[in-house]
Amino acid sequence: MSKVATQNKMEAIEMKRDVYQMVINGERVDSESKETFTTYNPATGKPLAQVAKATTADAERAVEAARNAFDNGKWKKYPVNKRARVMNKIASIMRSRFNELVELEVLNSGKSLVAAQGQVMQSIEDFEFYAGAIVGHRGTVNNMPGGFFNYSQNEPVGVCAQIIPWNYPMMMAAWKIAPAIAVGCSVVIKPASLTPLTAIVLTEICHEAGVPEGVVNIVPGPGALIGDYLVENPNVDKVAFTGSTPTGKDIMQKASQTLKRLTLELGGKSPNLVFEDADIDGAVAGSLFGIFYNTGQSCEARSRLYVHEDIYDEFMEKFVEKTKQLKLGDPLDKGTHLGSIVSRGQLEVIDGYVKSAIEEGATVVTGGEELKLEGFEDGHWYAPTIITDVTPDMKVVREEIFGPVVVVQKFKDEKEAIKQANDTEFGLGSAIWTKDQGRATRVANQIQAGIVMVNCPFSAFPGTPFGGYKQSGFGRELCIETLDLYTEQKSILSYYGSKPVNPFGV
């Protein structure tokens, strides 16, 4: 059984403020209804702060501010180097407040300190990456018949509604804000109601760094009300959404009414293939991280593990043993591997999936239960769980669980491994463990997923394209090409011939 915590560093922390306001047009403001909602620390279950609860009137104000900033403001007209300078300033303020941001992320999400450190660092690097990338984001000059000249330029798409989930609250905000403002867009962000705090602080930092009023606005509030309102608002030009596949489908349908530009980063059920020639210890370590990082609450969690039958017993013995060694406990303790689940509701979803597997005849090898940790009795904790004896049609194999639960199956050859890997409606991540580079390339080429990790536990760094095939969405974030998703390409065709052209000849 996983170790339990015996101390609670969280109790020693005092929140810097009791109320987190919205940011609209460069100002921190209350909701026009004056209503707030409570945001919690999922590790302790205790209230953390009050957050302004946006109404549709607030969302309207935010869209108007963004529209005005885009249509009449100076941000998109800045020379690109000046925008890059502000982006670097955002990154340097974040660096100087690193520990504070990490702590706030841990308190609001329940994730482990080490996970939050990595994610806040990546958020900083996202701003640095796009500060550099935007300088090189050039148009084209195209070959033309004599006398004609054509060039294209990239123009910002306009006002962007950016709707983000709770699993990586700051990193998702950075993935969205950085490329959008780099090209000159204005944004209205809708954070997840469970975890709004770091996105609010990031918005404040953008202003401190010199982003003009109205360019970055944030409206925390219920997704079905505020998210929906933003998606349907005719003054919004683009929606960038990260969240579940059902919500993504709903958004796609609604966005079609005004033909908005759309990026969808949705759910996943990523396969993890361990071949018979893999470095077994490396594959065990990588597979462990692949599913249990962020307490399994990752869109790219490698939640379907497939192991070659020849090494299955050896691999599983080590994998189960290492899983039992994972430490759950005070998320602020740097030795903690897994933090809490984000909410009671999410914990119940996870437990429901595990129970359904048992009812369908699967075996829970380890975990499969809620944990009560000393000092964190009211928090939401779930044991890292391994399930075997599953069949491809079971719910736990087909649906995204979004928790620390992995299902394990065997395969007998490469062909079967690829078939099993692709037997899903999703297509976000995937991993391959083999020492044979030829096999790695062959298998990677046949996997229907946006990301393939070869002998590698990590899915992304700033600069690497991140996004899905099939029902995991479309569009790629975190890379240079993301800038194209926030711009329109305008083609300018001129004629410089010495005689005017007379196509009708009359």
Q: How far is the CB of 33 from ligand NAD (least distance, A)?
A: 18
Nearer CB in complex with ligand NAD: 241/433: 241
Largest interatomic CA distance in the chain: 91
206 included as an active-site residue: no
Q: How far is the CB of 415 from ligand NAD (least distance, A)?
A: 28
Applying CB under 6 A, does 55 fall inside the site for ligand NAD? Answer: no
Nearer CB in complex with ligand NAD: 106/219: 219
One of 8, 247, 343, 366 touching ligand NAD (CB under 6 A): 247
Interacting span for ligand NAD (CB under 6 A) from 8-16, 247-255, 273-281, 311-319: 247-255
Q: How far apart are CA 37 and CA 51, in angstroms?
A: 5
| Catalytic-labelled residue, pool 105, 128, 265, 414 | 265
One of 50, 68, 244, 356 touching ligand NAD (CB under 6 A): 244
Nearer CB in complex with ligand NAD: 330/351: 351
Q: In what order do the strands lie in the sheet with 159-163?
A: 27-29, 22-24, 216-218, 186-190, 159-163, 238-242, 261-265, 473-474
Tell me the H-state helices in 360-465. Answer: 395-398, 414-422, 437-446
Nearer CB in complex with ligand NAD: 193/434: 193
Site string for ligand NAD, 61-100 (x = CB under 6 A): ----------------------------------------
Beta pairing partners, 306: 273, 409
125 included as an active-site residue: no
Q: How far is the CB of 248 from ligand NAD (least distance, A)?
A: 7
| Catalytic-labelled residue, pool 299, 300, 400, 479 | 299
Nearer CB in complex with ligand NAD: 329/475: 475
Q: How far apart are CA 35 and CA 133, in angstroms?
A: 40
Q: How far is the CB of 145 from ligand NAD (least distance, A)?
A: 44
Q: How far is the CB of 62 from ligand NAD (least distance, A)?
A: 15
The CA-CA-CA angle for residues 439, 442, 446, to 5°, reads: 135
What letter would DSSP give residue 477?
B
Q: How far apart are CA 100 and CA 258, in angstroms?
A: 41
Nearer CB in complex with ligand NAD: 315/402: 402
Number of residues binding to ligand NAD, judged by CB under 6 A: 31
Site string for ligand NAD, 158-177 (x = CB under 6 A): -----xxxxxx---------
One of 54, 231, 288, 407 touching ligand NAD (CB under 6 A): 231
User: Rounded to 10 degrees, what is the CA torsion of 366, 368, 373, 379?
Assistant: 150
Applying CB under 6 A, does 268 fall inside the site for ligand NAD? Answer: yes
Here the tokens at position 368 are 């499969």
Indicate the burial class of 131 (C-beta count within 10 angstroms; 0-12, 13-18, 19 or more). Answer: buried
One of 26, 158, 227, 403 touching ligand NAD (CB under 6 A): 227
One of 103, 228, 276, 330 touching ligand NAD (CB under 6 A): 228
One of 58, 333, 400, 414 touching ligand NAD (CB under 6 A): 400
Nearer CB in complex with ligand NAD: 110/165: 165
Indicate the burial class of 498 (C-beta count within 10 angstroms; 0-12, 13-18, 19 or more). Answer: exposed
Here the tokens at position 124 are 């900083």
| Amino acid at position 428, single letter | L
Q: How far is the CB of 246 from ligand NAD (least distance, A)?
A: 7
Q: Which of residues 176-195 bind ligand NAD (CB under 6 A)?
A: 190, 192-193
User: What is the three-class DSSP state of 465?
Assistant: coil
Interacting span for ligand NAD (CB under 6 A) from 44-52, 84-92, 222-230, 311-319: 222-230
What is the rounded radius of gyration, in angstroms, for the C-alpha atoms of the chain?
A: 24
Q: Which of 280, 52, 91, 95 is nearest to 174 (CA)?
A: 91
Interacting span for ligand NAD (CB under 6 A) from 112-120, 286-294, 408-416, 467-475: 467-475
| Amino acid at position 243, single letter | G
Q: How far is the CB of 251 from ligand NAD (least distance, A)?
A: 5
Q: How far apart are CA 114 and CA 493, in angstroms?
A: 53
User: What is the three-class DSSP state of 207?
Assistant: helix
One of 73, 156, 169, 223 touching ligand NAD (CB under 6 A): 223
One of 66, 116, 428, 483 touching ligand NAD (CB under 6 A): 428
Q: How far apart are CA 76 and CA 306, in angstroms?
A: 49
Contact (Cβ atoms closer than 8 angstroms) between residue 422 and residue 447: yes
Applying CB under 6 A, does 53 fall inside the site for ligand NAD? Answer: no
Q: How far is the CB of 201 from ligand NAD (least distance, A)?
A: 17
| Amino acid at position 344, single letter | R
* Secondary structure, 3-state, 139-159: CEEECCCCCEEEEEEEEECCE
Query: Cα–Cα distances in Å, from 503 out to 144, 147, 506?
Result: 17, 14, 8
Q: How far apart are CA 179 and CA 190, in angstroms?
A: 17
Cite the active site residues.
265, 299
Which residues of the shown chain bind ligand NAD in the complex (CB under 6 A)? 163-168, 190, 192-193, 223-224, 227-228, 231, 242-244, 247, 250-251, 265-268, 299, 400, 402, 428, 468, 472-473
